[in-house]
Structure 1
């Protein structure tokens, strides 16, 4: 027999098993018990004599036979002795061996399996991708395995099943350092589809986060995979859909359910009604718990700082460029609450983005939005940082006005960053007015900002601000005699800007398209971590005692369709449904913005 014929016979082993006559193999005259086969002799016979019939029977018996633990150990002990023979021609046999169920067996049987896998990859690196693929696929919970995962956390039995997988990966990493590059590839490839059941997505995420415990060098890569997938879920679960699912139109029915005279409550009232929102909620809770452990780690004082840098890098590359996310950005919000230096660094980082002319305008505008929203919403932002940041913003705005020729056009496109900075100033001053006007010293600080000069400048920033922001700011500045904006607002309204029609409503042609990324958090389980550090609007005493009249209804209608982007400007009764911040602190009155109404004042 020629050499080429021998190669053809051996290469036939690589053909899919479906090419074999399955019916013939199942007949009694061709059925060979595994006990009658020696793996080493079968492989030797195939390699030296090109006799494939016994190999085919060996392959079929491994695929079909249900081994007890004793037989299981015998098979893999013998397979380990023959590893040197398992070249690429026997790929189907290797895949069959790797596919044998091993996680539900005794500890001794699992050890035998692990020893075989390690020996196989040391001898034949070409099987690395196959082995890693099998291990990573084991991280994906079964669709019917919901009982083993409660909100993404494994039960004791489930944990016992997945621990051996992590142990084997650790051993492989110690023996073959480059194996983790392959693992990262398969982790990305096998991440469950975002619409899969919640326990499937969250169970996989749990296993990925657990891998950072023993793969500290790859923390950023692992978290990057997690961030990307959670972002996909976040953008596919918008606020309006969550709100519609949680608070249907039939309020009467909801009221009846809440007033159930039996007093029986839902066993798990933290479950989100929108499936994607429930998945996102559980994923965020896993991430928050992970972040908390790292931020408060006692193993190393620098571990929290390192985690902050990783999160900041992920924020820069994935969250900041993504338009209209709703919840993922709160991972950064939450981490900043653990140390004042974190929030200071984060604000400084955002401000550098704003001031960098080499960065695209949308990115600079987004950075301004994150700055304003963080300053307004974070309880942990000290008043000193709040004031210093507002000072930076106002100084930049004044300098921009001085350097801009009054003869230049005042189009929104030409001065987008400037208008965004001005709106940030107006928004923060209005939202944090209770703190910024609490003392005469703070009032002197607000006067030093010369807000009137910004408002009355030839660029007319109030013209393009969101109406609720402009109205709220006008109310605060009038109550404390910082600036008089209502004349300008009325003049802008009389100019009757050209309008375009959107969603059956009229909007000004030039109105800042912006969002406040740290608007109220709507997820129930993970939201319990945000509530204590999240600030609701509180009007100062002066504002409460000096109500102002609302702008004309026609002006109010022009940006009515943009209310979806500014949750704080919802009516009070609707905001209270969200549950976050609904409880009022003793002696403090919570108010919301609404179109045509200053903060804390009703029209």
Structure 2
């Protein structure tokens, strides 16, 4: 009452303009904020009106900026009083719009928050959650009349204020590093959010790693884990349709000639940019494309300083990404693009690629590992060696030689057992054979052009592998088998046509003799090659220079085989062959689809 009377007297003695009067009223509703807080804590009714006015002032976005700054500075002077009893007041301050009202308010707000979290740990998580939520800009706050460049500049300035405050908090409160990653995970955009949300959030969490380096591995784990969710929901077929690719043609053996020049793919059909077309038709694929682009940028910016490779920084980042790969990427089903992170970072130095191959080789040869993981590792080796343009032919030759030695050792080890083609029991062997065949299909000309190349190729003894009783030509993918057979016949390294024809005869359907009929269609090794063509339009610029496509014409596959090919076949009873065929059909028919069911290369067409 006294306050109202005093204001009335001032109004009579000193007439003011209406807006000045309002300002005077607002700046005069309390004299000492410490007294106001104490009275509210003691539940004195006389202070309720002023405390409510304080809350309304902080919650009203139209409140005078000078008044809000004064309140924040006054509250900072009595920061020790703001315990949980004042959680409503603190909550309103956290929710206020503080980044678009001038540098003075930004400075006052940041100072208040820093003092608050250092004095009261109970407010640390809410403050961090508030700041992380701002990683996705509120589009309604951007000036509609301004240009896109102005809006982008304003958004970048706001993000810089957020990271400045977060960095200061992490330096003052060590507990920040422990709790912040979990908050980031809880606030990660849902799969149905827009492309811009994923782009902004990913950009900001990567910036966090620059001032919270101890949490970088956890943040990379979080980012890749969410990228995988988008990747497995963005099928290669759907992306190809949107991008105008004709991968759905009826030609069976398109794995070797399907890859159109990646430079022409984004420019097909309409004038609309390819990345925009993808974002509209497949938002999740568009979000993945943005996240892959930001990841590639992050890797390059951290590994190259002033245009020179920082080897120590690169090694640390490589080890962290390899850890992420081992934990999330390697065991994930039906991947299309996220695994290219490893192909990109390994391109910086040959030692990194050698380390990656060594990591995969240890998985292949680990007898304690699950069979399916050994097969995936073999597929990674085969696809990595064929597609990574930066790998030397000498490296490929050494790895192929190592793989072939393993195959021969495997055959030597089980030579005394009753062998037959059995995918259920020898799946790693077949995956290794298929990878060797696949590599040879891509690089046979390069191998043979080397000095002593033909002599080296003969030492691999492909004929023993293809004529072994395990019969890998029967289980491997047909297009790989036919292409390898043509290349091997061209160079007189192995003759496979008779074996392939005999295998084809075993696949003929037969009538079931019992009520519990067994499916007689021969099951092939259902595998896919992890580095099939990269389809995302925005991020493909990072992969295109590193990626090898299949080049050159294949040897004729319809040439009549020489009758002398029979000399290369092992002598065995036809009865034993028929019995083996029957048994493998039964075993494969009963097995789940069949050991390696991660996916199929889009270049292969299966019946």
Q: What's the TM-score bracket when you normalise by the shorter of the two chains?
A: 0.7 to 0.9
Q: Is the 8 A contact 2:76 2:115 kept in 1?
A: yes
- Does the alignment pair 1:284 with 2:292? yes
Alpha-carbon distance in structure 2 between the residues aligned to 1:132 and 1:275? 29
Residues 541-576 of structure 1 deviation map (CA, whole Å, 9 limit, x = unaligned): xx54x553599xxxxxxx9xx99822345xxxxxxx
- Does the alignment pair 1:469 with 2:480? yes
- Deviation (angstroms), 1:105: 2.4
Residue 240 of structure 2 aligns with which residue? Answer: 243
- Deviation (angstroms), 1:301: 3.3
Residue 4 of structure 1 aligns with which residue? Answer: none
Residues 567-599 of structure 1 deviation map (CA, whole Å, 9 limit, x = unaligned): 345xxxxxxxxxxxxxxxxxxxxxxxx889xxx
Residue 317 of structure 1 aligns with which residue? Answer: 327
Structure ranking higher on relative contact order (CA contacts 8 Å, 6+ apart): 2
Alpha-carbon distance in structure 2 between the residues aligned to 1:499 and 1:140? 61
Q: Is the 8 A contact 2:421 2:470 kept in 1?
A: yes
**Judging changes above 3 Å, is the alpha-carbon distance between structure 1 residues 145 and 319 closer, same or farther for their aligned structure 2 residues?**
farther
**Judging changes above 3 Å, is the alpha-carbon distance between structure 1 residues 488 and 270 closer, same or farther for their aligned structure 2 residues?**
same
Q: Is the 8 A contact 2:526 2:600 kept in 1?
A: no
- Deviation (angstroms), 1:188: 0.4
Q: Is the 8 A contact 2:387 2:547 kept in 1?
A: yes
- Identify which of 93, 96, 100 aligns with 1:97: 93
Residue 199 of structure 1 aligns with which residue? Answer: 196
- Does the alignment pair 1:134 with 2:130? yes
Residue 407 of structure 2 aligns with which residue? Answer: 397
Larger Rg: 2
**Judging changes above 3 Å, is the alpha-carbon distance between structure 1 residues 426 and 151 closer, same or farther for their aligned structure 2 residues?**
farther
Residue 527 of structure 2 aligns with which residue? Answer: 514
Q: Is the 8 A contact 1:499 1:508 kept in 2?
A: no
Which shows bigger deviation, 127-136 or 293-302?
293-302
- Does the alignment pair 1:36 with 2:29? yes
- Identify which of 41, 48, 62 aligns with 1:53: 48
**Judging changes above 3 Å, is the alpha-carbon distance between structure 1 residues 146 and 284 closer, same or farther for their aligned structure 2 residues?**
farther
Map 1:208-219 → 2, pairs under 5 A: 208-219=205-216
Residue 578 of structure 2 aligns with which residue? Answer: none
Structure 2 gap ranges (5+): 1-24, 249-267, 512-518, 562-592
Deviating 4+ runs (over 6 angstroms): 145-148, 150-154, 497-500
Alpha-carbon distance in structure 2 between the residues aligned to 1:445 and 1:595? 34
Q: Is the 8 A contact 1:34 1:58 kept in 2?
A: no
Residue 260 of structure 2 aligns with which residue? Answer: none
Structure 1 gap ranges (5+): 1-31, 252-262, 501-505, 552-558, 570-593, 597-603
- Identify which of 258, 261, 273 aligns with 1:268: 273
Q: Secondary structure at the match of 1:373?
A: helix
Alpha-carbon distance in structure 1 between the residues aligned to 2:547 and 2:148? 24
- Deviation (angstroms), 1:154: 8.5
Residue 161 of structure 1 aligns with which residue? Answer: 158
Alpha-carbon distance in structure 1 between the residues aligned to 2:529 and 2:149? 29
**Judging changes above 3 Å, is the alpha-carbon distance between structure 1 residues 468 and 327 closer, same or farther for their aligned structure 2 residues?**
same
**Judging changes above 3 Å, is the alpha-carbon distance between structure 1 residues 299 and 425 closer, same or farther for their aligned structure 2 residues?**
closer
Residues 420-478 of structure 1 deviation map (CA, whole Å, 9 limit, x = unaligned): 10111111111212212224522221111111111111111111101111111101101
Residue 373 of structure 1 aligns with which residue? Answer: 383
- Does the alignment pair 1:189 with 2:200? no
Residues 27-67 of structure 1 deviation map (CA, whole Å, 9 limit, x = unaligned): xxxxx957413532221102235447233343233223523
Residue 373 of structure 2 aligns with which residue? Answer: 363
**Judging changes above 3 Å, is the alpha-carbon distance between structure 1 residues 151 and 481 closer, same or farther for their aligned structure 2 residues?**
farther
Residue 114 of structure 2 aligns with which residue? Answer: 118
Task: Give TM-score scaled by structure 2 length.
Answer: 0.79
Q: Is the 8 A contact 1:98 1:134 kept in 2?
A: yes
Residue 552 of structure 2 aligns with which residue? Answer: 539
Map 1:292-441 → 2, pairs under 5 A: 292-297=300-305, 300-404=310-414, 405-439=416-450, 441=452
Which shows bigger deviation, 450-459 or 33-42?
33-42
Alpha-carbon distance in structure 1 between the residues aligned to 2:353 and 2:510? 40
- Deviation (angstroms), 1:183: 1.3
Alpha-carbon distance in structure 1 between the residues aligned to 2:83 and 2:479? 71
- Deviation (angstroms), 1:141: 2.6
Q: Is the 8 A contact 2:61 2:97 kept in 1?
A: no
RMSD: 3.2
Alpha-carbon distance in structure 1 between the residues aligned to 2:545 and 2:64? 54
Task: Give TM-score scaled by structure 1 length.
Answer: 0.79
Q: Secondary structure at the match of 1:222?
A: helix
- Identify which of 62, 65, 71 aligns with 2:67: 71
Q: Secondary structure at the match of 1:432?
A: helix
**Judging changes above 3 Å, is the alpha-carbon distance between structure 1 residues 151 and 97 closer, same or farther for their aligned structure 2 residues?**
closer
- Deviation (angstroms), 1:482: 0.5
Residues 111-155 of structure 1 deviation map (CA, whole Å, 9 limit, x = unaligned): 11111001111111011111111100010133668999x999992
Residues 181-224 of structure 1 deviation map (CA, whole Å, 9 limit, x = unaligned): 22111100101112211011111000011111112221111111
